[in-house]
Homo-oligomer: A and B are copies of this chain.
């Protein structure tokens, strides 16, 4: 099971990555993540909505309403140019973090 602290700071990367492929909406995003984690991580609605709004407020995401489907109109989110750029930054940071943790977690020396 993946805890909140373990995933913290990487959710933005996950969201940005998913949205790189295609626009999506909050509910679908949560399902995508839950499905993709094979039951090891269940993202909370609050966490997700907070995250997308944060990303949007940072100019990394654009949103638009989809009125074509029946039911309540969905708010779709898509990457902005800045979001794409930030995705690169986040990916680089992830690689660094992964390398650092791996270096110690494996019990290897730093030499």
Tell me the number of copies of this protein. Answer: 2
> Does A7 contact B105, Cβ atoms closer than 8 Å?
no
Chain A interface: which size bin?
A: 35 or more
Cβ–Cβ < 8 Å partners of A96 in chain B: 1-2, 6, 40-41
Cβ–Cβ < 8 Å partners of A2 in chain B: 93, 96-97, 100
Besides the known contacts A7-B9, A13-B105, 11 further A-B residue pairs in the complex with CB atoms under 8 A apart = A2-B93, A2-B96, A3-B93, A6-B10, A7-B100, A10-B101, A14-B100, A17-B105, A18-B104, A36-B110, A37-B100
Give A residues with C-beta under 8 Å from B: 1-10, 13-14, 17-18, 20-21, 32-33, 35-37, 40-41, 90-91, 93-94, 96-98, 100-107, 110
